[in-house]
Chain A
Amino acid sequence: QVQLQESGPGLVKPSETLSLTCSVSGYSISSGYQWGWIRQPPGKGLEWIGIIYHSGSTYYNPSLKSRVTISIDTSKNQFSLKLSSVTAADTAVYYCARDGSGRPMAYWGQGALVTVSS
């Protein structure tokens, strides 16, 4: 059973870059599927950030595209999110997720709260 776990700083200063890593166990990230990031501001709904295929192709939410980079590290079986020039509006729980044979986001990490504050 595939398992995902987010990690990274819980506090980021305004204008800096948010960096999170999703560690994957139970499946080799280079073998296939889509690996994505979703976020949820406190008390609000879900926002899709973007996705990376095992091949390295990426698709980003246009609302964040100029600030987002998703990358994959097959040697560590991880994929990462970088969000630059953050503001308080980027404070959210960030989830990583994977699809499952036509089933979008079938597997989720537990989420990581990132607060943007000086």
Chain B
Amino acid sequence: DIQMTQSPSTLSASVGDRVTITCRASQNINSWLAWYQQKPGKAPNLLIYKASSLESGVPSRFSGSGSGTEFTLTISSLQPDDFATYYCQQYNSYPWTFGQGTKVEIK
């Protein structure tokens, strides 16, 4: 199985901050990486697919980059609605696997 490792596990930030979350794959996954946002009690919501493609309806302050084994999710200016947990997920090969999550908290 491909292991996905996110860092940091928790991030404290303020509204307006630029936030970066990193996801590393244990082997090459090309660009087959997605990012999800999850709020308490809700299903995850797809933000980014194929490493850098923005899902329809997702604000442009979210962006993704990377390929191979190292990937980044960036929120250019953190908004109150963005405090949530973020997961990366590889879909290069089965079984699809998720990172352990990064919780973005209010500083």
Dominant secondary structure at the B interface: loop
Does B62 have its Cβ within 8 Å of any Cβ on chain A? no
B49 to chain A: which residues have CB within 8 Å? 102-104, 106
Q: Given A102-B49, A104-B96, A105-B46, A62 and B101 touching (CB < 8 A)?
A: no
B1 touches A62 (CB 8 A): yes
Q: Given A104-B34, A108-B43, A110-B43, A61 and B95 touching (CB < 8 A)?
A: yes
Give A12-24 as 1s and 0s: 1 = Cβ < 8 Å from B's Cβ atoms: 0000000000000
Inter-chain residue pair count (beta carbon < 8 A): 59
* CB contact between A48 and one of B45, B95, B101 (< 8 Å): that residue: B95
Q: Given A59-B95, A104-B49, A104-B96, A45 and B44 touching (CB < 8 A)?
A: no
A63 to chain B: which residues have CB within 8 Å? 95
B98 touches A48 (CB 8 A): yes
Indicate the size class of the contact surface on chain A: 20 to 34
B14-22, B63-71, B72-80, B86-94: which lies at the A interface? B86-94
> How distant is A38 from chain B, measured CB to nearest CB, in Å?
8
Does B55 have its Cβ within 8 Å of any Cβ on chain A? yes
Complexed CA–CA distance, A59 and B94 (Å)? 7
